[in-house]
Structure 1
Amino acid sequence: MTRLGLYIQKVTILMALVILMVPLVSHAAEVHWVEPELKNYKQMIVPYKDGSSMKGPITREEWNSFYFYVLNPARYDEPIDIGNWATMIKMGVQLPQGKEDDLIKGYVYDLAPMYAQHLNRETAVGGLIKLLTFSIVQGSGNNKQLDASKDFMDFKDVKEMHQGLVQTAYQDGLLDSATTTHFRPKDNLTNAEAISIMARVMSKYEEEASKITPPSQPGFPSVVTLFENTPMFSSMDASKGMNGMISPQDVRIVAVQEDWLSYDHVTDKKWFQVATWLGPQWIQLELQQVGNFEQVDTSLLLQQSTSLQDSPHPDSTLSLVLSPQKVHVIGLFRSKFAERFLIETWVGPRWIRNPNGAS
């Protein structure tokens, strides 16, 4: 073989190797560092999917923006829009009932310059920790061995007003997993970083609550679905003030007041101790509220006119009535007193009595 032929052969082999390697490199590039946390985060925000009015304080429009921008793999490394950050906080942070909008305005929107679309990392983390002091953060981190001022080479660049808040977030394990040696306080928070942070916020105290073992007691309800923000207390005494709010979700009951099974009416209130991010806390529920919700996907034939309800509990009938027809059932609530179906209607999801079963 001539020298020219040998050269051409080598070039051909080299080009073939390059072509074979391209798909491997492209495939590796598809795996983003936030993907492992994103899988868990998506599971935790299922109750808010599509902006369901029953399961959360966000609108369908807010959900759509969050879904198409924050959860879009092509946008993971783009700065998160301030409105989408607010949406993530609504889904992941427990705030006092009736004060949610004011608090988000004060610790999200008002912290950014006027007309700003994004938040830098120190501002986003600082505002988040302030909001978490209403529920899961007590003002100082748990892991005293972690020192942000020593571990982050650029900690001196964090504004003094945010330094203590960043330190608390670091000690509580609430910073994004990509933060190791540098905090980068002036960089805009990205979609991926926001996902990582909120996944940690939503899972940290859930893990603590899961360590509590409920007592063994006949007729004892183990899980109850809350459909509205519910105050929680350190004891069975509401006069001492609440410790925070539990947003609509499934909660695990670990204790009940002794006479919880005695009642005159289904609207009688009883005390239930539930597992929370703060440890066991007491909530008051009407007996008719003690039940479980599950998502379903089926059809039901209504053979007579049926009243719509705005909640699964008795005494909540609206002035709207469905004529006999086939309906799409998307949820089911069961309690000791009733069985209710959540159906799709022209006015959004509404509840109806089980026409063939419990009242």
Structure 2
Amino acid sequence: MRISSVGPFIKKGTILSVILLLMVPIFSHAAEAHWVEPEQKSYKQQIVPYKDGSSMNGPVTREEWNSFYFYVLHPARYDEPIDIGNWATMIKMGVQLPKGKEDDLIKGYVYDLVPMYAQHVNRETAVGGLIKLLSFSLVQGSGNNKQLDARQDFLDFKDIREMHQGLVQTAYQDGLLDSVTTTNFRPKDNLTNAEAISIMAKVMKKYEQEASKITPPTQPGFPSVVTLFENTPMYSSKDASQGMNGMISPQHVRILAVQEDWLTYSNVTDTKWFQVATWLGPQWIQLELQQVGNFEQVDTNLLLQQSTSLQDSPHPDSTLSFALSPQKVHVIGFFRSKFAESFLIETWVGPRWISNPHGATQNK
């Protein structure tokens, strides 16, 4: 009786042990972070201006954003080949192209480089086309780090098509290849979502580094950095009639010079010329004086003591039809200019601005 009663117990115990053993690698794998996670976090911050594809003047549509968000940024799809349309979307967000020529350039250096109706793009084609597009703004045909030699470091360099070899070499020397490319480039493999994230995070970081290299002047009252909240035309001189050279997307820009009478004005909406550091070198932009200020992210609360109007920008002349009753609000951003201070807060209609509310007190 004992033997027969022990048999089922052993079977049950054995089955349970097998199940537990099988589950161990699953849990272990789930807990292991993907190699692209650190860069993905940085990249998500860099593309905040394009979030939801909701910018009326932005280069990315809501449909493009949704496809990119659900297929490229999804952790379960990191190692899947990137859809060529999503690769084009990432280029629109990450590469500064001449205004009015974006679609033609992306067609020529993304879609026209792959077979008709191709869904994916291989690594040599993606990198080669990207470097060609970056030659309009960021790279000058040869990499910066001459000590790096893809011909020597990549065991499969000879497998790269001749038309792409110099471009891959430039990307390698400029530090624009994905982080897992070390001894083999794998030119014929399809570019994955993770590799695309890694590459574009590096591209956008390089733009930031290039824009910050020039030391701003020390003229009293002169702002060194200005935050742009919308696409802004740039010109080679203080003359808009000569035609613009392109657009600067929303970002922080370093000011290099201003027109001499920039502090002479009759209204805060008067426009003045400001020279800023860009990927094309020093360029001139026109800003209203009230736009000359800095934005920073914060995490705090304000207690509003009275009804407060909401605004769609940090400037007082942008009041919306909505208003908040006295309440505690969560502040996620702060803008300070010579003329005003504004807070970016969370509301039921999304992030909105309020101008230095009278009587408001900070409340943690």
1:261 lines up with 2:263 in the alignment: yes
- CA drift of 1:196 comes to 0.7
- Pick closer, same or farther for the CA change 1:141–1:324 going to 2, 3 Å: closer
| Residue 70 of structure 1, CA deviation | 1.1
Alignment root-mean-square deviation, CA: 4.2
Indicate the larger mover: 320-329 or 226-235.
320-329
1:339–1:353 CA contact under 8 A, matched in 2: yes
Instruction: Tell me the equivalent position of 1:47.
Output: 49
2-structure distance, mates of 1:299, 1:103: 50
Cα separation, 2, equivalents of 1:339 and 1:58: 30
Identity %: 83
The aligned counterpart of 2:292 is 290
Q: Deviations over 1:167-214 (max 9, x none)?
A: 221221111111122222211110010011001101123224334443
Moved more, 22-31 or 79-88: 22-31
Q: Aligned partners of 1:39 and 1:354: how far apart in 2?
A: 32
> What's the secondary structure of 1:31's corresponding residue?
coil
Taking structure 1 as reference, are residues 118 and 20 closer, same or farther at Cα in structure 2, changes over 3 Å only?
closer
Superposition TM-score, scaled by structure 2 size: 0.73
Q: What 5-or-longer segments of structure 2 have no aligned partner?
A: 1-13, 360-364
**Aligned with 2:285: secondary structure?**
strand
Once residues 303 and 89 of structure 2 are traced to their aligned partners in structure 1, the CA distance between those partners, rounded to angstroms, is 32
Partner of 1:220: 222
- Please give the per-residue CA displacement for 1:98-154, whole angstroms capped at 9, x wherever unaligned: 322332233222322222211111111122112212211222222233232332222
Corresponding residue of 1:193: 195
2:189 is aligned with what amino acid? D
Range moving further from structure 2, 169-178 or 29-38:
29-38
The size of the alignment, in residue pairs, is 339
How far residue 73 of structure 1 moved from its aligned partner, in angstroms, is: 1.6
The 5 Å alignment of 1:339-354 reads none
In the alignment, which residue of structure 1 is the partner of 2:170?
A: 168
- Aligned residue for 1:137, secondary structure, equals coil
Contact in 2 for aligned 1:47/1:55 (Cα 8 Å): no
C-alpha deviations, 1:235-293, integer Å up to 9, x for none? 65668876654212222334433321123454544332334445654433233432345
1-side partners of 2:318 and 2:36: how far apart?
Answer: 43
Instruction: Give 1:179's aligned amino acid.
Output: T
Amino acid at match of 1:57: P
* SS state at 1:253 partner: strand
1:108 pairs with one of 100, 107, 110: 110
Q: Which residue of 1 aligns with 2:254?
A: 252
- For structure 1, which segment, 149-158 or 348-357, has the greater mean C-alpha deviation from structure 2 after superposition? 348-357
Q: Give the 3 Å change call, closer, same or farther, for CA 293–209 of structure 1 in structure 2.
A: closer
Distance in 2 separating the partners of 1:52 and 1:330 = 19
Name the CA distance, whole Å, in 2 between partners of 1:24 and 1:346.
Answer: 40
SS in structure 1 at match of 2:141: coil
SS state at 2:196 partner:
helix
| Contact persistence 1:223–1:250 (CA under 8 A) | yes
Residue 143, structure 1, aligned to residue 150, structure 2: no
